[in-house]
Structures are given as C-alpha cells and as structure tokens.
Amino acid sequence: MAIPESSGIHGPGHVKLLAFAGRAHKPRHPRANHYNNLLLYSSMTLGIDEPVEKPLLATLRGERRAVPPMWLMRQAGRYLPEYRELRAAKGGFLDLATDSGTAAEVTLQPIRRFGFDGAILFSDILMVPWALGQHLWFETGEGPRLAPPLVDAALAALQPAPERLDPVYDTVRRVVADLPPATTMLGFAGSPWTVATYMVAGQGSRDQGATRRMAYRDPAAFQAIVTAIEAMTVDYLSGQIAAGVEAVQLFDSWSGSLAPAEFERWVIAPTARIVAALRERHLDTPVIGFPKGAGAKLAGYARETGITAVGVDETIDPAWANDALPVGMPVQGNLDPLALITGGAAMRGAVDRILAAFAGRPHVFNLGHGILPDTPIAHVEALISMIRGR
C-alpha cells in the first residue's frame, strides 16, 4: 500500500508502521486485505512512535479476536449519573447536542468510566431532518417533534440548512483530540426509512402508519423525501469522517414495520445507495448497518446493501444469525437490554450463548438496542468483566 505524502509518515517511522502492519492477524473478511495496512496509522497523527492497535476497528475490518471488542448503543446517556448532572445543568437535549464542548464531554463519559473499545458520537438521528429545514424540538416526556410534518406539507417548502450540522463535526474533532489511542471513534446517522417516519408524521409513532400509508399511496412523493434524506445523510456522514470518525453506523430503528417488498424498496435500496456513495468518498471506512426488527430479512439486508458489518437486535437468535449471514461478515450484538438490567445468571447465560454463536466470525459485543435509563452501573461493570475476563 502506498501511504500518501500528505500523511506526514516518512523515514524510520514509516518503516516501523509497515512492519507492524505486516504482523496483523490473518483477515477473515474480503476487505480485510485492503484494510490491514491502514489498521493503525491514525495513531501517527498523535505523534506516537509506534502505532496503537484499535481492536474495534480491526474487527470491523474483518479480524476475528479471542476477546471481542465492545461498546454499547446509547452508552452515553441517562443511566450515567455524570450525564444526568450535565443534562440538568444544560437544559434541553438539542442544546446539549449542539454545544460541541458539552457533547464531546458526554461522548467521553462512558469511555472514562468503562474503557469501552468504541466511543460513539453523542447526537441524534433527527439532525438530518433539521438540516433539511424542518423545525426540531424535544417535548419533555414525549420525545422529538418536527414541523411541518410532511404528511401535510411539501418537501419543496423546506429550506435546507446544512450549516446546522457544523457543531456535530466540531464535537467529533474535540472527542478525537481527547480519545485514548486504542479507542475507535464511531459516527452515525439514521437510515432513510426511519428518518422519514419522523419527517412525515412529525413525531414518533407506534406503527409508523402515516408513513407507510404515504409510501403506498404516493410512492413518488415518498421517494423524493427518501432521496433528500439519502443525499443529506451521505454529506453528513462524510463530514463526520472528515472530522475524525473511523467507522459509521446506520440506524434503521423502525425497519421491522415494513412488509418484505417495502423493506426491499425503502430499507435495502436506500441503504445500498448510501453505502455506495460513502465508498466513493471514503473507501476504507467501515459501515455498520443496523435494521432493528428485520427478522428473517436480515440476511438479505446484509448481502444486498454492501455494508461492512451488520448489527443484530435482541429478537434474533444469534445461532440463526451466524448461519444465515454471509460467511466472514463482522456482526455486532446482541444482548437484550433487559438482560443487562436483570444481571446475574440471566445475563451470564445470554452472554455465553452470544459468544458461542459468533465465536467463528468477527464479533463486536453490543446490546440488541440501546441501553435503558434504569440500567445499574454495577451490571455494566459485570458485563465488561464477563467479556474481557475470559
């Protein structure tokens, strides 16, 4: 691999880096050969003589490890007392997420406390609708609101404001500057279907009925919304990567509400277009796809979207997933957040089953969805010991 001169890596340090890269573990994923020489050279930008291994990034690039790296979805959040204190002082969620210094601090809190292998950007999937011109706010106890809802208004009436995303990029830069060298910086965005459900209805809903009806009734109008989300999402994730993010995740939290043909049209196809566009700009950045609720459609999603790794939710049998997913594809998941809350034998049994199922492929240990606010800190500590103490 030729390292660009702009990287500033020359002379003896250059030789050390290539020698280290040559000792990397045998890859298990088709793209790993291309990635191995890039595995650790971001540490050189920190002025470190020897590159520092990043277990999470290595796994996403196809390396199977005896001890899987781990992070938890929503790991920066309300279960942490330090987060609750900061949130109380700051006020509303949007104020918190758009204050780069505060958002960076929130991102780093679980890294300082638990030493996770990945730090995920503290933000929200609805930053994209906000950048597309909808008004965004959060109602206490009720969740996000967007106006005007596109079930009643035309997309063309919105005035895009991509500069609203600038604080997010600044947050990434601040986190990267303070992140331990072995920790992978993760960015994210919502996938088009899930983001569209909020844009159309103006809020979350139990069955995404308004959006599903619109997609059936006026697919051309709905496609225009999805296309706008795709374009902004590609720019948004590209901006995160340029600021220092090393891997990204696409959250499709409501993909489980769609019938198979609609899943193909509104989940698989838009995700594939986003992944392809990102690859044109950032060939070496892993993309994790997480279609929550996909069920038996997960295997098709993994094969057809071009993602690097796939997130598995807690409703999926990990043994089935291991058999159904493409050989060698990295997987992420899939402990039930309620098992983490329960702890003890219930959590240990679930952890054992997950680790056994994914022992033969690259695996990032995670939850099947976000950590819940009433999760005991001691149970998170116990989970870390279960994974790393083997």
21 vs 105 pLDDT, higher one: 105
Range with the poorest average pLDDT among 69-73, 148-152, 187-191, 304-308: 148-152
pLDDT tens digits, one per residue of 332-369: 999 999 999 999 999 999 999 999 999 999 999 999 99
Mean of the per-residue pLDDT values of the chain:
89
Question: Which tokens is 381 given?
Answer: 């500590």
Active site residues: 74, 78, 87, 124, 198
**Helix axes of 269-281 and 192-201: crossing angle, nearest 10 degrees:** 120
* Coil, strand or helix at 3: coil
pLDDT at 390: 66
**Cα 214 from Cα 222, distance rounded (Å):** 7
pLDDT at 49: 55
**Helix axes of 192-201 and 219-243: crossing angle, nearest 10 degrees:** 120
Q: Please give the share of the chain, as a percent, with pLDDT higher than 90.
A: 82
pLDDT tens digits, one per residue of 13-49: 332 232 223 323 333 444 444 444 344 444 444 454 5
**Cα 119 from Cα 376, distance rounded (Å):** 20
pLDDT tens digits, one per residue of 122-152: 999 999 999 999 999 998 878 899 999 998 8
**CB-based burial label for 300 (10 Å; 0-12, 13-18, 19+):** middle
